Amino acid sequence: MSKQKIIINPLTRISGFMEVDVTVEKNNVVDVKTKGNMFRGFEQMLVGRSPFDAVYFTQRICGICSAAHSMASSLALEDALGIEAVEQGRYLRDIIHCCEFLQNHIRHTYQYTVPDFVKIEQNPLFQSDHDDFRIPKTASDRISKHYFESLTISRLAHQMLAVLGGKAPHNHGVFIGGVTTQVNADIVVKLASILKQVTQFIEQKMIPDVYEIAAYYPEYYRLGGGYGNLLTFGAFDQYKELGTLYVDPLVSMSRGVEPFDETKIKEKIDYSWYRSTDEEYKPDETMPEPDRGKKTSYSWVKAPRYDGKPMEVGPLARLILSNEYTNGISAMDRTLARALEAQKIAGIMKTLLGQVVPGVDVQKKYTLPNEAEGRGLTDTTRGALGHWLKIKGKKLSFYQIITPSTWDFSTKDDQGYRGIAEEALMGTPIQNVDQPAEVGRILRSFDPCMSCATHVFVPGKKVKTIQVF
């Protein structure tokens, strides 16, 4: 039998727009291309704006993980302005970040992942394209019920975020120096009581539900593996008094686990529609010119590499690097890791809440340097996020963002490496090419965010952008 091409567009139940083209031969995936289908050009928009505005502006990149961008841009500005956030500021800011993790992981699990495996009968919106539903009715109905119950819980996670951050999505509280709010007993006890509800849901419903799913779809422990290179910029780490609550900046490659070294990050554009003096460069060096006519290219997403290798980022990478998960790397492991990490994050948030001191105002009146550079690297819900910025004449003159989904959904490179998600799909057996449920299930295990990591599908015309996103 000859090769068959499957195009899934739109890949629904993700953030943003994504297309996947899969070539199948003898019911096995032999080639994959993942394509983002939207373009806004945030980095270009940021040039010329007031550096302070970056914190609120960059959040608009993504509706589901907006606080992540406020974290990274605040860190980058602190670096540029030579400001060190005090511990109280860090605690409160990280509590806000915890709330986003909880919101995101709960929504990704129930609203985006569950409909892949569970038939939700309440509403035609959840009518599926395939009939590979194996979970017995009682369990299936229970998980369906939790789909709706989870809405209350993820809403509460956002409510906690708003208590400190003003509103969610697109909070105002995260800023240079930490946060803008000061807590009091009323706020602390409010957060603690909501957190308890959220934690109970995660422990009593979400984690059992994911294990239930895993039990009926065991082959997904073998599908969607990939290269096995893992990267984290560190999360909830290196507090002065508390030490590291989760994971330090680490990488894992064939030679073992080692500390993360930011100088080893390079972006490659061999197969992306860009032109530059070099086909690879460091994030703070170059903004390559787009060149849609470039023959070898097939995507607008560039290929970030660490020490030349594509790296998987996200909850599973973090749990493995922090020695809290050893089962393996696969689509199902990723989905499990997300639920387990939610529990971990709830615990961290509880610890941080116990450390906050009421009435501390960490904000100062900041002045801008005429010229400066800064970078903010942190792990967020989907993995490693980096913002690099330059200030000239008190305005932003350069902004570069590498999002977690750029790492996971990158293109091939000159060494023959594929993007992480592309590699994860390679060799996947497709039971029924008319109902290729496997593809969506594996891709969603990465929690793709195309609002964050977009390339675009443009015939002909040259795009005059500094950096596509």
Of residues 4, 30, 31, 63, which one binds another protein by CB under 8 A? 63
Report, in Å, the least distance between residue 308 CB and another protein: 31
Please answer whether residues 80 and 101 qualify as being in contact, where contact means their C-beta atoms are separated by less than 8 angstroms.
no
| Residue 271 binding another protein, by CB under 8 A | no
| Residue 387 binding another protein, by CB under 8 A | no
DSSP sequence for 382-448: TEEEEEEEEEETTEEEEEEEE-HHHHHT----TTSPPPHHHHHHTT-B-S-TTS-HHHHHHHHTT--
User: How many residues sit in the footprint of another protein (CB under 8 A)?
Assistant: 88
Of residues 23, 30, 31, 126, which one binds another protein by CB under 8 A? 126
Residues 93-122 that bind another protein (CB under 8 A): 107, 111-112, 115-116, 120, 122
Residue closer to another protein, measured from CB, 237 or 447: 447
Residue closer to another protein, measured from CB, 173 or 304: 173
Please answer whether residues 241 and 257 qualify as being in contact, where contact means their C-beta atoms are separated by less than 8 angstroms.
no
User: Starting at the edge strand that comes first in sequence, how are the strands of the sheet with 256-259 ordered?
Assistant: 230-232, 250-253, 256-259
Residue type, 98: C
Show the site string, 345-384: x = touches another protein by CB under 8 A, - = not: ----------------xxxxxxx-----------------
| Residue 281 binding another protein, by CB under 8 A | no
| Residue 185 binding another protein, by CB under 8 A | no
Output the six-digit token pair for 164.
């400190």
| Residue 228 binding another protein, by CB under 8 A | no
Instruction: Classify the C-alpha dihedral 132-138-139-143 as positive or negative.
Output: positive
Report, in Å, the least distance between residue 132 CB and another protein: 12
Residues 3-42 that bind another protein (CB under 8 A): 7-17, 19, 37-41
How far apart CA 181 and CA 172 sit, in angstroms, is 10
Which residue stretches of 287-330 are H helix?
A: 315-321
Residue closer to another protein, measured from CB, 41 or 228: 41
Residue closer to another protein, measured from CB, 125 or 185: 125
Q: Phi/psi class of residue 170: alpha, beta or left (left: φ > 0; alpha: ψ in -120 to 50)? A: left
| Residue 72 binding another protein, by CB under 8 A | no
| Residue 259 binding another protein, by CB under 8 A | no
Residues 425-444 that bind another protein (CB under 8 A): 440
| Residue 244 binding another protein, by CB under 8 A | no
Report, in Å, the least distance between residue 274 CB and another protein: 15
Any idea what DSSP says for residue 111?
I
What is the pairing mode between strands 250-253 and 230-232? antiparallel
Enumerate the β-bridge partners of residue 252: 230, 257
Residue closer to another protein, measured from CB, 14 or 332: 14
Contacts of 8 (CB under 8 A, 6+ apart): 19, 20, 22, 436, 439, 440
Residue closer to another protein, measured from CB, 255 or 461: 461
Show the site string, 153-172: x = touches another protein by CB under 8 A, - = not: -xx--xx-xxxxxxxxxxxx
Closest C-alpha to 379, from 168, 173, 236 = 236
| Residue 451 binding another protein, by CB under 8 A | yes
Which residue stretches of 166-266 are H helix?
A: 185-201, 207-216
Residue closer to another protein, measured from CB, 295 or 461: 461
Show the site string, 137-156: x = touches another protein by CB under 8 A, - = not: -----------x--xx-xx-
Report, in Å, the least distance between residue 232 CB and another protein: 24
Q: Phi/psi class of residue 16: alpha, beta or left (left: φ > 0; alpha: ψ in -120 to 50)? A: left
Report, in Å, the least distance between residue 237 CB and another protein: 25
How far apart CA 110 and CA 152 sit, in angstroms, is 12
